[in-house]
Amino acid sequence: MNKLIFILITAIVILGMSCGRQSTEQSESEEMPPEFYDMHNARIALDYVGSYSGVLPCADCEGIVTEVILVDESQFIRKTQYLGHGEMIFEETGIYTWGEAGNTITLEGADEPNRYFVSENRIFHLDMDGNKIEGELADMYILKKN
């Protein structure tokens, strides 16, 4: 009987020590310096330069064929064509700037909405307030890297 009690107490102590160690590890990871997180964003971690295209929803046409070309680390070309409204292709060029967190870009001087969330091999067209578009059409606001 004493042997059984000894084994139970030992198991409880070992279990308690492992739980305590786990919570310490979690609190250490929560206290990582902000510089650690600043180094893990789209601007630094992704190969984002290139051409992205897709067909965005349109209220009064069949869709907007859109191509955003991130030429280098600051220049862009955006081409749009309104399906069902002729063959005209509108082209805007300029520079883009990064948001504070390093995950969104703003096409400076381009017609609004002109902000995109940069992800691996795709960019998400953002709404006028810079938020991701949600709902059943959300997937239609993604431009994929060519």
Annotate 108-146 with DSSP letters as a single string. Answer: TTSPSS-EEEEETTEEEEB-TTSPBP-STTGGGGEEEE-
Average pLDDT over residues 113-126: 96
Mean pLDDT of 110-139: 95
Residue 99: band (very low, low, confident or very high) from pLDDT cuts 50, 70, 90 = very high
pTM: 0.71
Higher pLDDT, 7 or 136: 136
Q: What confidence category does residue 125 fall into, taking pLDDT thresholds of 50, 70 and 90?
A: very high
Token pair for 93: 């060029």
**Higher per-residue pLDDT: 76 or 20:** 76
Structure tokens at 104: 């969104």
pLDDT of residue 29: 38
What's CA 67's distance to the chain center, in Å? 18
Q: Which two tokens stand for residue 81?
A: 């064509």
**Rounded mean pLDDT of 29-39?**
48
Amino acid 30: pLDDT: 47
**pLDDT above 90 (res 38):** no
Rounded CA gap, 134 and 22, in Å?
Answer: 37
The DSSP output letter for 48 is -
